[in-house]
Structure 1
């Protein structure tokens, strides 16, 4: 692959050929039937980046054609061809065209990302090439913890905009934890529990991690109204991203117990908790309100979420007896299934009886319960091992933010593992997810600094075939992305040893950091 044809994640096949296509101010975008939404979005990007008119019709000037072609095998697969006839993007599904457009953007000048005032003047040359590509795994996600520190709507949109450049297609939102509750729910008219569900956001919105030495000050507070959440889902769907909401049970529930006193054995609300400690809270198996409460929460989340998954957490329930854990999680999973959604959970929940086809997100610990669910129950696995996928870990000891319980490391740690291992077969793995926990993060700039470049490495692990991965090639392509990340205003950490072609602004300018984290 020549430097002018760098695409990341690396495609299945990139075949350059002699010749160059010149795009000019007369360049037009031609959407075929069913391809309009993707073509219009790309045309708007090219128009903003070049200042050209970029019409969606006409028969003169170079053409960039978007075509739905059922002969392209796979919903997210695509072909991209640049030759003297123009640029042709083809896929069987609009999602494939969207990924093709992401690849085409990487073949065009990075300055286009900033707007036409910074773009090269005149014409743009693109070398002839034919690309054939398809993802290794269907599920390629980033998890954002909005519970420990709140992210406003504009930051969620920016996060989606950048992650989709690297062909991520799932945004997992960790919506509640011991510190807070971040999404508005209604109290149903038929409400035999007597619980006021509006209290969850009213009280829980004010929580966040606020502990000396954790991050750069107190965590941010706030919540998403139902309309906010719908807008997030809609924005993501327009970019072929599925939103997965998580309500973590039976542990990580202190914010719930502080807002809904009836869920406590003594009927008294717990005190808000702003530490980053885990494992100290639980729902109660013998409380008759526990199950109907959880079922109603999942019913409302299912109604707000068109995607196929609901995540019930299930991790770090350290003060829940094993017997109670298995009983509650089995019933909670059945409540999710009753909504018509596929249940997801962290791998601890694999100890319980789960609906057939459940999804298990492996992050740490004993893999055997997960393998048993795969063998006996048709479960599929999303791989998120702490060492290699977690984005909240420090790069090095001296970093101003980040944790270090799993493994400190740079892009090579996140590149150098394979999701199919430890008794799993290729077909058992639904995909890969890179979690970002927010104990130490107080803005999207800080989040991006921890996410990039490591999430680009995870993206290639999730998208590209194992045989296509090459650390030396990736390192060169990574360095070539520096200018594009800067143009996108992404505050990445410039990894040592990489020949970056641009450097980001310093998100940790003097006075911005108030503490570091040792745990």
Structure 2
């Protein structure tokens, strides 16, 4: 009997040992999906992908989509999944055609036995597989084999479809050329985020990037410029047409075919942009007869404004050239759309060109604006005859919109609103939200960018449709697109930095249902997604982690209160004062920091004892005028009021971004500021902080003067400084020091700051100040 019991116990233990192990379960907090799907349900358990797992496809034409997973597994897991059309129910990832599902939609069900992905198109299967990719551990993105990891997919049920049909990104490869391999890598990343359109900006003043067989000089001459990369974009000199041009590159027609075919496999349509009538100096450099004057010019190496070297709209040879170019381009890009630019054409030459004036007269046009409308309508007619739809920037509205054109609204939402009212399709790409050549963090710790600000949260706030649109107008809004212009983007790594993570924010707002969108939830998921970006080798920006200091003054005590925050909510901020080292053990920021003397503050966002973004390192310099009463002879401009009457004595300095809320601005008047020190004080110096950003009309002062008084009535001059105008292409901050010959015992300080009398263009100059220090 005892032997029987022992035997039964042995059998029971053996059965337990042989039982199939339970796969782990997951929760929403464990996973990161961007864009978030339309509906998501979590179930217990998970499916494990092993080297014996099969991908089952319904037809051979879908075999290529298996590479979305297999390319990853080959590198990260060291095995490739067998692809078969033979149905097997267990240990498989099954792709099934479901004719009831919309074109870009998919349904995904994961159980511990198998994964079933249903869709009605190749696009749907691509998006579903990209979702499976994001459900797998982030290590699946590794470029080398990883051992001791289970490749688990959580048991979920997902039903998903996009909100908008156009979900795009534009890369400018004219200002700086990026090679074919980077373009293909970028296409992969668009697909990863379920974006479906790559807008390929192939032509601009600074480079022609696509081979045209009939006009070889377009790339031989137009594809290269004189190398001035060591100078700021807007400080580069005009090139001699005979100077050696070595900087640039172009895509052969074979390169273009390869890129387009690659994009099609990933579910990405490629829309080429062949600019006209402006942004074409590269073409005119190759063939001067395309302009009104016929004079030789060089491909410019940097910024050009205004853009007057444009195609001649009066010559028939211009249209013959463009039709022949577009014919070759259409053979390479089979899609519906052709982008032809249409923006920023300064028509100075058209107004004096005999050919253009003859055209205006013969066609019964009112002026040069209508001539541009004629130009675009004629190109549209040619494209329509070849079954293509013209897309243009919103300037094509001026003078009359081509009949079937689609408008890309970039100067805000207004162009899109107007075009949709006229019954035209619209793609929203406003500078306010979707220009990724703008700074995404403080210029104090960002690479040089266009001097405007588009942080991550601003991108996430983008919505393609406006409340003021009618129901019919809203139907014409196809979606949205982010643009990365490349004047300040010289490398692939820099390109990635400007695109990510902002591109993920756009991807979600054009895919996910609007009622599901929420910044706080997204900010949690994108922080986790950054870990995956790391594994993917993406040089993403950590700008949203940057510390943003704010200050308030207690006018009674002269005490400054410093507040610290980051763009991401609910972050762990640690800080150190003065000479303390900033470490994972430093003080946690929980409430305002009060200071009443010169104080250096170092601060950063931490997570798991690791610094997550840029370290703020600022010295808040106290001086004798801090929190003292200030009066103004001429009021500051209300558009640039900063914090009001305490702005110039609040210790907090401005950044190189003129809209950061820390600069006070004047135009048309000098800044004449009187500070009451409230008691007799020894003073020997005044320091005035000023900003210059000539591209936006902000200039350093021309003359500064300090006067002092004991009674506030009788003033005497104690220091002055004059400076000559200097060309400065970038943003620059300077502290102007006005030292007294002797110390003065006074109560009142009056500082007069004269702006530049007239800008080089003849307009008024802005004067921007952030602090007046009295020492």
So what's the TM-score if we normalise by structure 1? 0.89
Where do 5+ consecutive residues of structure 1 fail to align?
Answer: 188-196, 507-514
CA distance in 2, matches of 1:172, 1:56: 33
Hey, what does 1:47 align to over in structure 2?
Answer: 74
Partner-residue secondary structure (3-state), 1:56 = strand
Decide whether aligned partners of structure 1 residues 114 and 2 sit closer, same or farther in structure 2, where only a CA change above 3 A counts.
same
Cα pair 1:144 1:436 within 8 Å, conserved: yes
Hey, what does 1:160 align to over in structure 2?
Answer: 187
Q: More displaced, 88-97 or 350-359?
A: 350-359
Kindly report the root-mean-square deviation, in angstroms, between the aligned alpha carbons of the 2 structures: 2.7
Decide whether aligned partners of structure 1 residues 435 and 350 sit closer, same or farther in structure 2, where only a CA change above 3 A counts.
same
Hey, what does 2:217 align to over in structure 1?
Answer: 199
Decide whether aligned partners of structure 1 residues 85 and 270 sit closer, same or farther in structure 2, where only a CA change above 3 A counts.
same
Are 2:428 and 1:383 equivalent residues in the alignment? yes
Q: CA deviation at 1:412?
A: 0.2
Hey, what does 1:326 align to over in structure 2?
Answer: 373
Cα pair 2:419 2:426 within 8 Å, conserved: no
Hey, what does 2:772 align to over in structure 1?
Answer: none
CA distance in 1, matches of 2:196, 2:435: 17
Q: More displaced, 329-338 or 472-481?
A: 329-338
Cα pair 1:173 1:246 within 8 Å, conserved: yes
Are 2:50 and 1:24 equivalent residues in the alignment? yes
Decide whether aligned partners of structure 1 residues 366 and 116 sit closer, same or farther in structure 2, where only a CA change above 3 A counts.
closer
Decide whether aligned partners of structure 1 residues 19 and 44 sit closer, same or farther in structure 2, where only a CA change above 3 A counts.
same
CA distance in 1, matches of 2:138, 2:235: 31
Partner-residue secondary structure (3-state), 1:262 = helix
Q: Which has the larger radius of gyration?
A: 2
Cα pair 1:258 1:272 within 8 Å, conserved: yes
Map Cα deviations across residues 216-252 of structure 1 (whole Å, 9 max, x no partner). Answer: 9999510111111111111111111111111111111
The structure carrying a bigger helix percent of its residues is 1
Hey, what does 1:2 align to over in structure 2?
Answer: 28
Decide whether aligned partners of structure 1 residues 288 and 24 sit closer, same or farther in structure 2, where only a CA change above 3 A counts.
closer
Are 2:427 and 1:214 equivalent residues in the alignment? no
Hey, what does 1:112 align to over in structure 2?
Answer: 140
Query: Number of matched residues?
Result: 496
Partner-residue secondary structure (3-state), 1:472 = helix
CA distance in 1, matches of 2:522, 2:326: 41
Map Cα deviations across residues 22-68 of structure 1 (whole Å, 9 max, x no partner). Answer: 33332222112253221244234323321134222475862111122
Residue among 86, 99, 106 paired with 1:70: 99
CA distance in 1, matches of 2:152, 2:234: 45
Partner-residue secondary structure (3-state), 1:15 = strand
Residue among 412, 420, 429 paired with 1:374: 420
Are 2:459 and 1:414 equivalent residues in the alignment? yes
Cα pair 2:376 2:396 within 8 Å, conserved: yes
CA distance in 2, matches of 1:284, 1:209: 28
Q: CA deviation at 1:339?
A: 2.2
CA distance in 2, matches of 1:122, 1:365: 48
Partner-residue secondary structure (3-state), 1:14 = strand
Residue among 406, 421, 427 paired with 1:359: 406
Q: CA deviation at 1:356?
A: 4.1
Decide whether aligned partners of structure 1 residues 453 and 98 sit closer, same or farther in structure 2, where only a CA change above 3 A counts.
same
Moved over 6 A (4+): 215-219, 499-506
The structure carrying a bigger strand percent of its residues is 2
Hey, what does 1:475 align to over in structure 2?
Answer: 523
Cα pair 1:209 1:275 within 8 Å, conserved: no
Residue among 500, 504, 507 paired with 1:456: 504
Residue among 459, 471, 474 paired with 1:426: 474
Residue among 369, 376, 382 paired with 1:335: 382
Q: CA deviation at 1:98?
A: 0.4
Partner-residue secondary structure (3-state), 1:481 = helix
CA distance in 2, matches of 1:83, 1:216: 61
Cα pair 1:26 1:61 within 8 Å, conserved: no
Partner-residue secondary structure (3-state), 2:82 = coil
Cα pair 1:4 1:127 within 8 Å, conserved: no
CA distance in 2, matches of 1:37, 1:103: 17
Hey, what does 1:169 align to over in structure 2?
Answer: 196
CA distance in 1, matches of 2:454, 2:476: 28
Q: CA deviation at 1:175?
A: 0.8
Hey, what does 1:510 align to over in structure 2?
Answer: none
Hey, what does 2:716 align to over in structure 1?
Answer: none
Q: CA deviation at 1:431?
A: 1.4
Map Cα deviations across residues 372-410 of structure 1 (whole Å, 9 max, x no partner). Answer: 44333x311110000111111112222222212xx4132
Cα pair 2:223 2:282 within 8 Å, conserved: no
Q: CA deviation at 1:365?
A: 5.4
Map Cα deviations across residues 398-456 of structure 1 (whole Å, 9 max, x no partner). Answer: 2222212xx41321010012110153643111111100000011111100101111111
Map Cα deviations across residues 327-383 of structure 1 (whole Å, 9 max, x no partner). Answer: 212222222222211100001112354454421100005825x4444333x311110
Residue among 164, 167, 178 paired with 1:151: 178
Q: Whose relative contact order is higher, 1 or 2, with alpha carbons under 8 Å and at least 6 apart?
A: 1
Cα pair 1:220 1:442 within 8 Å, conserved: no
So what's the TM-score if we normalise by structure 2? 0.60
Residue among 437, 447, 454 paired with 2:495: 447
Partner-residue secondary structure (3-state), 2:387 = coil
